[in-house]
Structure 1
């Protein structure tokens, strides 16, 4: 038991010495860096990131770069979600215009919803316009005639 305890103690001391040497090496590497290091220069040269974030001595460069990459990835994901949300809002607004135009056609011509949709679609195709543009024209003419 004593021999096993001694071997374990020796092994622990060796591991502690190795860890201390690694720590000293990290401190030397950080000391060779300037007081602040732009994270964008620590990795991929082909990154188009304008953002530079500085770190100070005592910060693990790999961890800092990893966090920086994570934040960049999350920011890109938020931009994508914002773009998708904007597109969904635009689609909803366009759908509202088309439905309003269909309602106007249904009332004014006494036709079904399907017939109103078909008329809008045919007008869009024959004039080489989008349906939402034709719908907006129908709405503006109807408002002008009502006013």
Structure 2
């Protein structure tokens, strides 16, 4: 069995944000409903973080995603998840979790690619020199008003 490492403070903060978002916004399990957050969902979220189907020590890790990436993917897919939950006849809680996670897993690489493109664009913007346009001379295309009557109106 592999020993699990402790999460850093940053990871704990990101995990808490992800946990609260999935609990409140996706599954609609808040304090008022009295429903307990399913352990299977916790294992699936931590498994996705570790690059596994479910978090356990028997499955080899295939990669990893940060909790912030997973949260962005949930936000990116929220509309798809809501539509799927309304249109699909959900048998039980496990079926609902599998449906949600399938949508997230299908879109997580898209979110990663979009974040890379955003960082690349920001890097390009910072490299653009702002002084490029200052060397241009502006020439006025309109003529000066020479008519006395028009000058008085202006």
Structure having the higher Rg: 1
With normalisation by structure 1, the TM-score equals 0.31
Q: Which has the higher helix share?
A: 1
